[in-house]
Amino acid sequence: MAEFALLAFVMLLGLGAYWSMVIFPKQRDFQKRQRFARELAAGDEVVTFGGIIGKVIDIDAEMGVAQVEIADGVVIRVLNAALMQPYDAEEVARTAQIGIKEEQFAAEEITS
């Protein structure tokens, strides 16, 4: 009986660890994306899943489609789910600089 209790405890501990490391972060990301989609409005600059930067022109919430202007006079229809995040030029530049530094560091390690 003690072995069964120990096994049950270990299983519960494993399930708890799995939930906290896998399920909970995914739920948090999903909620963050849902909040972003609800707060989306015409005029917002966004980044699509494919990395395209554009300005939201119109949103059809019932159909789940937004019209995004990616250049002067060029408007595309995009699924709301494909709008990943608001466009923040400073954040994009900071991320690019980190990537460049990591590439340089890796190149230095290879040549050493």
Q: Provide the residue-wise pLDDT of the chain in tens; the chain has 112 residues.
A: 788 888 888 999 989 888 888 888 889 988 888 888 888 889 999 999 899 999 999 999 889 899 999 999 999 999 988 888 889 888 888 888 887 877 777 777 777 6
The pTM of the whole model exceeds 0.75: no
CATH of span 41-112: 2.30.30
Q: Where are the domains of the chain?
A: 1-39, 41-112
Measure the CA–CA gap between 52 and 72, rounded to whole angstroms: 14
51 secondary structure, DSSP code: S
Which helix H or strand E contains 79, and what residues bound it? strand 74-79
Measure the CA–CA gap between 92 and 45, rounded to whole angstroms: 13
Which helix H or strand E contains 66, and what residues bound it? strand 65-71
